[in-house]
Every structure is written in C-alpha cells, then in structure tokens.
C-alpha cells in the first residue's frame, strides 16, 4: 500500500510538472510553428532563384531619384526624364532592359544617327537574333566590379563605358559606346545587332 501511495504521489507530481512545462512552452511552440509555416509557405510560393532575381536589379544601382525618373520614363517614354543620367547610368539602364528582354525600351535608348530601322523591324530582329546573347550578358555582369568611362577615348558627345567583372582569376571587360542624342546618352549598339544578324545568315 505504501508503495502504491508513493507511486501515485510521484505520478501526480510528474503530471503537474508536465502540465506546467506544457503551459510555459505552448506560446513558444506556437510561435515556432508559425515561423515554420511561414517559411514553408515562402518555399512553396516562390522559387529561390526568382527571389534572388527580385532582389537584384541593375536599376537599384542608381540613386533613388534616378530610379524614380526611369520609372516615369518607362511608363511615359519621355526622354526628358533621362537628361541627367550619366553614361554609366545609361549602361545600367541598358543592362536592366536586357535583363527584362524589352526591345521597345532598348529601342528608345539606342543611338539612331539615321541608322535604326523602324520599331517593328528592330523588335523582330531583336527577338530573332539578339535576345539570347543579351540575356547571357545581363546575367554575366550582375556581379560587376567597376563601371566607368574610358577617359582616354572620351569626346564631348561620344564616350566608351567599361564594365568589368571578375570571377576567380578571370576578368571580363565589356566596352559599350554611347553617343549624345536628343540630350540623352544613348547606346551605340545597332552595329552589334547587325553583326549578330550577319553571323546568323552565314
């Protein structure tokens, strides 16, 4: 009888301890469950690769004022919004346009000089001959180390911007020519597009 009495007392104490422990841990457990649930929902609803792309944007390398100016330009297509953009800024804008694959935006910021075809032909040629190359370029240079005007070749209305990326022991530099037109530094890239078209037709 004594043994049974002791066992029931121990059992009662254990039961009380368990209840107290559960009460003190319940809010923490609930919080943990919410966090786990949230994390799982994030994993289900979004691809990790897509999350990374959302975080990085060439536009975010610009000042907030210029990001807003470009957003206005994108919706209204008013070149005045780009008057204050430096050649380096315009290269970042160009790389952004490549990253989203928008030939209409690229057309707007491409130096014409009487050489550009109409918008429809430009769009058709871009999708057919250029887009794959440009997508690779946009991805390749997102980790760029430096972007600067090549002062040794700079002229009043014509400059070359060098953008450099280093991966391990390898360094790549891309040189992009820009010319001043309509009070905006525009990318002189149509000769490059023509090169892609010519290569494809051989």
pLDDT tens profile 169-184: 999 999 999 999 999 9
Q: Please give the Cα distance from 71 to 82 (Å, whole number).
A: 10
pLDDT tens profile 16-74: 444 433 333 334 444 444 554 444 444 445 555 554 445 689 999 999 999 999 999 99
Quote the distance between the C-alpha of residue 100 and its chain's center.
9
Residue 98 predicted with pLDDT over 60: yes
Query: 141: closest CA among 176, 110, 111?
Result: 176
pLDDT tens profile 100-114: 999 999 999 999 999
């Amino acid at each position: 009888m004594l043994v049974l009495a002791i066992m029931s007392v121990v059992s009662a104490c254990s039961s009380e301890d368990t209840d107290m422990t559960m009460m003190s841990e319940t809010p923490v457990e609930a919080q943990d469950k919410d966090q786990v649930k949230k994390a799982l929902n994030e994993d289900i609803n979004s691809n990790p690769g897509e999350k990374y792309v959302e975080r990085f944007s060439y536009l975010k390398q610009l000042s907030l004022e210029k990001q807003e100016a470009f957003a206005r330009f994108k919706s209204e297509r008013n070149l005045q919004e780009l008057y204050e953009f430096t050649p380096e800024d315009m290269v970042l804008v160009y790389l952004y346009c490549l990253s989203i694959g928008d030939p209409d935006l690229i057309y707007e910021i491409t130096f014409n000089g009487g050489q550009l075809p109409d918008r429809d032909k430009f769009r058709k040629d871009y999708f057919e001959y250029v887009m794959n190359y440009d997508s690779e370029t946009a991805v390749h240079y997102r980790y760029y180390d430096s972007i600067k005007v090549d002062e040794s070749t700079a002229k009043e209305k014509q400059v070359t911007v060098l953008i450099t990326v280093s991966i391990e022991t390898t360094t790549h530099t891309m040189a992009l020519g820009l010319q001043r037109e309509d009070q905006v530094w525009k990318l002189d890239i149509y000769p490059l597009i023509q090169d892609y078209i010519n290569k494809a037709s051989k």
